Amino acid sequence: MSLELNDSINKAAQKDIFELNEKIGQFLTGQIDEEKFRGYRLTRGVYGQRQVGVQMIRIKLPFGRVTPEGIVRIADVSDEFGSSNLHATTRQDIQIHYVKLANAPKVWAKLEEKNITLREACGNTVRNITASSTAGIDPEEPFDVSPYAYAMFKYFLRNPICQEMGRKFKISFSSSEKDSAYAFIHDLGFVPKIRNINGKEVLGFKVMIAGGLGAQPFHAQKAFDFIAADQIIPFTEATLRVFDRYGERTRRNKARLKYLLNDVGLEELIHLIELEKLAIKSKSFEVDIDDMPKSSIPETKDFGEVAVNNEEKYNKWLKTNVFEQKQKGFFAVCIKLTNGDMKSDTARKFAAIVDKFASDDIRVTVNQGYILKYVRDNALPHLFCALDEIGFAEPGFDSTLDVVACPGTDTCNLGIASSMGLAVELERVMKEEYQDLIYNNDIKIKISGCMNACGQHTVANIGFHGMSLKVGEYVLPAHQVMLGGGIIGDGEGTIAEKVIKLASKRIPEALRLLLNDFEENVQDGEYFNTYFERQGKNYFYQLLKPLGVITDVPQDYMIDWGEEHKYETAIGVGECAGALVDLVGLLISEQNERLLKANEAFAQEIYADGIYHCYNVLINSAKAMLLTKEIQCNTQHGIMNDFDKNFVETGDFIVNGGFKNLVLQINQNEPSKEFAAIYRQQAIDFLEKVTDIRNKQLISA
């Protein structure tokens, strides 16, 4: 398929886009296996939808930063190739839906013209690095974490150590001890600290490790109370190398860092990480805080008089959606969006409003909204009126009324019940019956369409996740009710507990019962989670149990929220991470491509990257040989042991000193030019021998 790219796109991105275009052509003509292609396209932000023949494109926005110009470009792309909608996610990405596969390279190219990438937005990679949306303006922050999140993003983008891991890897930066970026549910979560060391102020971070949500949520453990800021990238690099080598690769449901920590323990995991530090590229990495694009500061203007037609709504908006920044005289304005959706024509109007009244530094929030920065006091009434005209001045940002929901059955293959439709209904109920909840920031409601927790229901005070429910001959959409999750602070939090499964159409009544009971029985100064702990899980089970009794099934119970047709369970193949097909010939041929990448890295004198490409050549070549004997390969560490046992020790493959010792030279040497040359030649020799053996096998077959 022909493709022309604008010269403004950087060379690395151009290469990516041309390669994606070529791979799509090969897939459509049957030259690439579907499962193998899935793993490839996911790491380029192209995600299969529930609907046949179209894709969701996930746009990677480090720490949620996007400009008005970027918003307009995403809107234009969504109009031209998608459904004319911009969907903000809980990971501060923006997604566009209903894109044809053949158009994915064009989408990427148009976005890259504005320095917006799709690279590693999905798949078995370092996903979008999130951060508190208030970073840089938070009155309580020790320092701005945005440059550190940005440096982390740049360092690991296209980095060979994290391109084909066993599963995804998630990193967050919180702006303060309030931990609004949820450090405790991430593979690595960073909370900023300042320490006085030898009379000098040192910036650094508390580090939480191996948290995660999904069907089995794990609270992260504390790796360090404090590490200096120049050590966070070296520590992350070493951690990724350990995860790549020791992480599970066959059983996808066990292939996250949390399971590796559970298997080996925190002390051993930290020990393995320390062993990697000799071989890493950067022993210290000083973040240049000026490298990140700076926020523009709006000029002082006389906006004149404006008539605010709804003073009551304006005052509520000021109380719930506006706060003064740490920069005195400036205000941040928060935008509440139902389900994180913004139509493209509205997005253009929104961008124009931001250009007029705020900084160009817009942040997507983890609760699917937006934050505007550097709004001057005299601009607030004008901004309110402009936002109100496009429906973006609803009070109650990040309140109980601000329900978070993943796409669920609207577009996701794994969705079991509607999350977005339910979110709309719950917001309607609360807006009509519990108006004062716009002032409640204690109770957070989150909904996921399945147990995988993209809506982060497991860290909600009141959470719901989609299920199905058999009642007689009927199968109904349902939700598991979960209570008691949330942030404690400083890297600590609680995971919600399962209480009861209810038909989806009874969830609004369940919410009424919970809110009414809390209002009637809460003690002075008691938060929802302490109330939940005091009453105990069984109390809430008994409270909601009558809603679980269904004798006759009303017709509307068989139609999910926001839907028109009868409910059917239709769960497809999940694409939360790419499964890779282990075809021997394909594996071997791919190693020649890796050697080319190694040569490119060596030519640029990036020896650590080139060495890691060679490491992968050795590992994957050995894996190919093991597959010829139908030996399952769960981890890279296991591949080394299994190859020695089944090939070297049997005399079928001669490796002086053993294969494991050959490979692990990577940990015992600095990434120097001299070692790089030796290791590359060893990888070349090993691959040639594997190729020769495989060719002989095929001839004799």
Q: Largest alpha-carbon pair distance within the chain?
A: 88
**pLDDT reported for residue 440:** 96
Alpha carbon distance 609, 159 (integer Å): 7
Alpha carbon distance 332, 137 (integer Å): 8
Torsion of CA 687, 688, 689, 695, to 10 degrees: 110
The domain limits of the chain are 11-112, 130-276, 311-389, 404-558, 584-700
The yes-or-no verdict on residue 579 having pLDDT over 50 is no
pLDDT confidence bin for 576, thresholds 50/70/90: low
Alpha carbon distance 224, 210 (integer Å): 13
Min mean pLDDT across 132-146, 485-499, 513-527, 572-586 is at 572-586
Alpha carbon distance 558, 604 (integer Å): 61
Alpha carbon distance 567, 478 (integer Å): 10
Name beta bridge partners: 330: 376
Beta-carbon contacts of residue 574 (< 8 Å; ≥ 6 apart):
413, 414, 452
CATH number attached to the domain at 584-700: 1.20.120
Estimate to the nearest angstrom the gap between the alpha carbon of 692 and the chain centroid: 42
Cross-sheet strand order for the sheet of 330-335: 65-66, 362-364, 370-376, 330-335, 322-324
**pLDDT reported for residue 571:** 55
The yes-or-no verdict on residue 42 having pLDDT over 50 is yes
Q: DSSP string of 272-339? A: HHHHHTTTSS-S-----TTSSPPPP-PPP--------S-HHHHHHHHHHHEEE-SSTTEEEEEE--GG
Residue 90, both tokens: 């809980």
Q: What is the mean pLDDT of residues 325-353?
A: 97
The yes-or-no verdict on residue 630 having pLDDT over 90 is no
Burial of 286 (0-12, 13-18, 19+ CB in 10 A): exposed
C-beta neighbour count of 649 within 10 angstroms: 12
Number of residues written out for the chain:
701
pLDDT confidence bin for 628, thresholds 50/70/90: confident
Would 130-276 and 584-700 be classified into the same CATH topology? Answer: no
Torsion of CA 13, 18, 19, 23, to 10 degrees: 140
Give the pLDDT confidence of 127-148 residue by residue, as tens digits: 999 999 999 999 999 999 999 9
pLDDT confidence bin for 577, thresholds 50/70/90: very low
Min mean pLDDT across 68-72, 228-232, 597-601 is at 597-601
Residue corresponding to tokens 């692990």: 664
Alpha carbon distance 681, 7 (integer Å): 36
Average pLDDT of the chain is: 93
Residue 485, both tokens: 């999750």
- Closest to 180 measured CA to CA, from 362, 371, 462: 371
Q: What is the mean pLDDT of residues 423-433?
A: 97
Give the pLDDT confidence of 665-695 residue by residue, as tens digits: 999 999 999 999 999 999 999 999 999 888 8
Give the CATH architecture of domain 404-558: 2-Layer Sandwich (3.30)
Alpha carbon distance 569, 66 (integer Å): 37
The yes-or-no verdict on residue 569 having pLDDT over 80 is no
Torsion of CA 364, 365, 368, 373, to 10 degrees: -60
Give the pLDDT confidence of 75-102 residue by residue, as tens digits: 999 999 999 999 999 999 999 999 999 9
Q: What is the mean pLDDT of residues 454-483?
A: 94
Estimate to the nearest angstrom the gap between the alpha carbon of 604 and the chain centroid: 31
pLDDT confidence bin for 62, thresholds 50/70/90: very high
The yes-or-no verdict on residue 632 having pLDDT over 90 is no
* Burial call 327-345: b when 16+ CB within 10 Å, e when fewer: eeebbbbbbbbbbbebbbe
Phi, psi of 449 (to 5 degrees): -75, -15
Give the CATH architecture of domain 11-112: Alpha-Beta Complex (3.90)
Give the pLDDT confidence of 209-256 residue by residue, as tens digits: 999 998 899 999 999 999 999 999 999 999 999 999 999 988 877 889
pLDDT confidence bin for 32, thresholds 50/70/90: confident
Note if the pTM is more than 0.75.
yes
**pLDDT reported for residue 617:** 95
CATH number attached to the domain at 130-276: 3.30.413.10
C-alpha separations of 123 from 422, 576, 586 in Å: 28, 7, 19
**Helix, strand, coil abundance in the chain, percent, nearest 5:** 45, 15, 40
Alpha carbon distance 219, 214 (integer Å): 12
pLDDT confidence bin for 1, thresholds 50/70/90: low
Give the CATH architecture of domain 311-389: 2-Layer Sandwich (3.30)
What 8-state DSSP symbol labels residue 153? Answer: H
The yes-or-no verdict on residue 568 having pLDDT over 80 is no
Alpha carbon distance 372, 357 (integer Å): 9
The SS3 of residue 256 is coil
AA letter at 382: H
